[in-house]
Amino acid sequence: MKKLLVLAGIILCVFAHNSYALERFTVVSTEEMQQMLADRIAGKTDFLLVNTLDEMIYRDTSLPGSINIPLGRIDAHAHKLGQDKEKLIVTY
Predicted confidence (pLDDT) at residue 66 exceeds the cutoff of 80: yes
Specify the amino acid at residue 59: R
Predicted confidence (pLDDT) at residue 1 exceeds the cutoff of 60: no
Give the mean model confidence (pLDDT) for residues 30-34: 92
Burial (CB count <10 Å: 0-12, 13-18, 19+), residue 19: exposed
CB 70 within 8 Å of CB 78: no
pLDDT of residue 31: 93
**Which residue ranges form the domains of the chain, and what is each CATH number?**
2-91 (3.40.250)
